[in-house]
């Protein structure tokens, strides 16, 4: 959801009143609740005309939708695949249509990283890996940052080599973590873990930590470490995207975020970004970069990770295509 969509959603929820809005919030993910909550907190006076416009638009959109379909199973498959892509949708479809219970996982998603880390700290790395792959990469990275270097390396090694989770294993995890996880009697195993998942998590660990984890994995299996690195997407890789994709990304990134992120970028990267902006916007960015004083590397890397998250979201939505090495290069 873009900034305009967030603002409209926030205004609409505020127009419902506390009781109704609270019922709607129950259907959002933790991250959606946080974003909407922050947007509402920043809201100032909204004109009645603007509120009426947003409510009217919602009514039109709602009236145009029909949930009365003859084959609800196929409807769910179609909607989720279009919204999430085949890989993410397949896992949810299995859980929804075959009766998997993920209430325990959802409870973990609402916990802060330190609490999750404390809960898992004394568990075997294999168990921790099997649990973390159910969370999104950003939360995984935050949890791992609360653990020791050795624990991080051992857990990420197992995430990278995880080829799926059998239903019986989910039941065992359920007992270990006080019903945190649950699984059915499905023969098919959940498509969680693997090289791609490991790469997404390591991407979000930050400089120094990511290199340490990769080095530990390399000492165990050099080929596996290389496969993970091939799947990782770093800030400088944005410069390797085609012009249309770069321009799409830039439309989604706030000016302040871009300025800070480019402070530690290579000259080649800066020029690539500037060449994909209008002359006026490029000149303004050059001036802002020159005028900006020294900044903490941690602040720069934080903004670079924010842009990487935007890039990944756009890729998942099909708006841009990420190259994945020579075999997957853009053509």
Fold of domain 100-231: Annexin V; domain 1 (1.10.220)
The reply to whether 100-231 and 235-323 are identical in fold is: yes
CATH code of 235-323, in short, is 1.10.220.30
pLDDT, one tens digit per residue, over 110-124 is 778 888 888 788 788
What span, in angstroms and rounded, lies between the C-alpha atoms of 229 and 237? 12
What span, in angstroms and rounded, lies between the C-alpha atoms of 209 and 196? 18
Confidence (pLDDT) at 107: 67
The answer, as to whether pTM is greater than 0.75, is: no
Confidence (pLDDT) at 186: 34
Confidence (pLDDT) at 234: 77
Domain ranges of the chain: 3-64, 73-98, 100-231, 235-323
Confidence (pLDDT) at 260: 92
In terms of Cβ atoms closer than 10 Å to its own Cβ (0-12, 13-18, 19+), residue 34 is exposed
What does residue 165 show for φ and ψ, rounded to 5 degrees?
-125, 120
3-state secondary structure the chain: CCHHHHHHHHHHHHHHCHHHHHHHHCCCCHHHHHHHHHHHHHCCCCCHHHHHHHHHHHHHHHHHCCCCCCCHHHHHHHHHHHHHCHHHHHHHHHHHHHCCCCHHHHHHHCCCHHHHHHHHCCCCHHHHHHHHCCCCHHHHHHHHCCCCHHHHHHHHHHHHHCCCECHHHHHHHHHHCCCCCCCCCCCCCECCCCHHHHHHHHHCCCCCHHHHHHHHHHHHCHHHHHHHHHHCCCHHHHHHCCHHHHHHHHHHCCHHHHHHHHCCCCHHHHHHHHHCCCHHHHHHHHHHHHHCCCCCHHHHHHHHHHHHHHHHHHHHCCCCCCCCCHHHCCC
- Per the rule left: phi > 0, alpha: psi between -120 and 50, beta: everything else, 78 is alpha
Below-70 pLDDT ranges, the chain: 1-2, 62-77, 79-81, 83-107, 165-193, 206-207, 323-331
């Amino acid at each position: 959801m873009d900034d305009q969509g967030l603002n409209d959603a926030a205004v609409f929820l505020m127009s419902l009143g506390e009781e109704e809005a609270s019922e709607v919030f129950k259907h959002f993910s933790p991250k959606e609740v946080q974003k909407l909550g922050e947007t509402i907190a920043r809201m100032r006076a909204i004109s009645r005309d603007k509120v009426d416009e947003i409510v009217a638009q919602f009514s039109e959109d709602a009236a145009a939708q029909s949930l009365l379909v003859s084959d609800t199973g196929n409807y769910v498959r179609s909607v989720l695949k279009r919204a999430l892509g085949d890989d993410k949708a397949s896992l949810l479809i299995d859980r929804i249509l075959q009766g998997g219970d993920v209430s325990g996982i959802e409870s973990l998603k609402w916990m802060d990283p330190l609490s999750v880390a404390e809960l898992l700290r004394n568990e075997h790395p294999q168990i921790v890996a099997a649990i973390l792959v159910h969370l999104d990469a950003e939360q995984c990275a935050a949890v791992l940052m609360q653990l020791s270097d050795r624990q991080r390396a051992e857990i990420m090694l197992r995430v990278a080599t995880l080829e799926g989770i059998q239903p019986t294993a989910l039941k065992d995890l359920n007992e270990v973590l006080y019903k945190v996880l649950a699984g059915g009697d499905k023969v098919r195993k959940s498509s969680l873990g693997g090289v791609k998942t490991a790469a997404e998590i390591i991407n979000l660990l930050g400089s120094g930590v990511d290199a340490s984890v990769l080095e530990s994995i390399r000492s165990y299996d050099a080929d596996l470490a290389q496969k993970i690195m091939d799947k990782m997407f770093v800030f400088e890789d944005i410069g390797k995207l085609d012009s249309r994709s770069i321009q799409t990304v830039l439309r989604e990134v706030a000016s302040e975020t871009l300025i800070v992120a480019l402070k530690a970028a290579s000259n080649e990267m800066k020029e690539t970004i500037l060449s994909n902006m209008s002359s006026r916007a490029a000149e303004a960015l050059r001036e802002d970069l020159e005028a900006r004083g020294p900044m903490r590397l941690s602040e720069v890397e934080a903004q670079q990770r924010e842009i990487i998250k935007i890039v990944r979201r756009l890729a998942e939505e099909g708006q841009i295509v990420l190259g994945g090495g020579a075999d997957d290069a853009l053509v």
